[in-house]
Structure 1
C-alpha cells in the first residue's frame, strides 16, 4: 500500500491520495477499512477506543515475556539443567497462543474500529467490522451501535470497484458517504418494542 501527496490547485494544500494494488484482496480490504475508520472518527464528539487492541497486545506481550524467560534461563543454566523451565515456558507459550486465537475469533470478531461518542449524558459505542472473501469483489461493512436503547446493527455489501478506480486509488469520500448513510440510519432508528 502506498500513498503519494497531490496538490490541490484551489487551496494549494497537499492532499494525500491512497493508491493500492487493486488485485491484492487483502490490501483492498485494509485500505477500505482504514477509510471507514477515518470516516467514523470525523463524527462529532468521537474518540477512538483501543480496548480490543490492548487486550491482544497484552496477550502477545505475555507470550514474548515467556519466550524471553526461556531464553534467559537457558543461557544461565544450559540445557540439561533448564529442561523443566523450558517445558513450562513452551507449554505456557502455546496456551497463550491458543488464548490469542480464541480472543481474536470470539472477542474481536473482525472488529477493526471502536469509537466512543458522548453527547451530554448519552453515550454510544460504535463498532465497525468488515469481511471480504478471498477471490470475491464484495466488501461487506457492518456498523454496530450500543447505547441505552440497546444494540443495533446495519450493514452494506457492495463491490469494492465502487470505491476504487482502475488505477487503484481509493475514493475515501465515497466510503465516507456510505459510512454516513449507515451511521445516520442507526442514529435515527428507534428501538421497536
Structure 2
C-alpha cells in the first residue's frame, strides 16, 4: 500500500458548532461532518459526489413529475387532467420507492466518499465512511472502507464508542479526541491490518 497522503496545511479543520448532546441525530451528524473534514482536509483526499448525485437525480425526476402534474392541472383543470394526474401520482410513488431502495442498498449509511490519487501513479483508492447510531443509544459506530484496483478489493475497519468520548459537557465536539481514532482506522487500512 502506498503511504498516506500529505496533509494540506492550508485547510484547517474547523470545529463544528456546539450541539445539544441529548439530540442523537445532531450528535451523529456533527461526528459525521468532522470525520468527512478529517478525510478531505487533514488527509488531503478528493471528495467524490457520485453517491449524492445519484440521490439528487432521483429526487429531481420526482420533482419534475410533481411539477408536470401541477402544470397540467393548471392548463387543463381537474376533470380533464385526471388521467395525467393519476399517472404522475403513480410515477411519483414509484420514484419514492426507487429512492428508498437507493438509500437502503446503495448508500447504506455512507456519508462520505473520497478518492486518493497516488502521486506515484498507482491506481486510485476510493475511501468510504459510514456510520450507525441506534435511536436513544450513545454508541457511535464508524466504518471506514478502502477500495483499490479494477476488481475493487475492499478492506473495512470500524470502531464503536460512546459519543461521550468525543463531546464535553457543554456539547462541544472534541476534535483532538476524534481525529486520532479516525487516523488509527486509516492507518490500519493502509498498513494492511484488519481491525474489529
Same fold per TM (> 0.5)?
yes
In 1, are the aligned partners of 2:144 and 2:156 still within 8 Å (CA)? yes
Tell me, in whole angstroms, the C-alpha distance in 2 between the residues paired with 1:138 and 1:78. Answer: 53
1:101 corresponds in structure 2 to 100
In 2, distance between residues paired with 1:190 and 1:130?
20
1:153-172 matches, within 5 Å, as 153-172=156-175
Distance across 2 between alignment mates of 1:145 and 1:107:
16
Q: Secondary structure at the match of 1:122?
A: coil
2:169 counterpart SS class: coil
Question: What is the deviation of 1:121?
Answer: 2.2
Tell me the secondary structure at the aligned position of residue 51 of structure 2: helix
> Quick check: 1:174 aligned with 2:173?
no
* Unmatched runs of 5 consecutive residues or more in structure 2: 1-13
Distance 1:61 1:17, change over 3 A: closer
Contact residue 16 and residue 30 of structure 2 kept, 8 A: no
- In structure 2, the residue matched to 1:127 is 128
TM-score relative to the length of structure 1: 0.88
Instruction: State the Cα distance separating 1:18 from its structure 2 match.
Output: 2.5
TM-score (norm 2): 0.86
Q: Structure 1: 5+ residue runs without aligned partners?
A: 1-14
**Structure 1 residue 58 corresponds to structure 2 residue 61:** no
- Structure 1 runs, 4 residues or longer, greater than 6 Å off: none
Tell me if the contact between 1:21 and 1:28 (Cα under 8 Å) persists in the aligned partners: yes
Structure 2 counterparts to residues 1-193 of structure 1, below 5 A: 16=15, 18-119=17-118, 120-148=121-149, 150-189=153-192
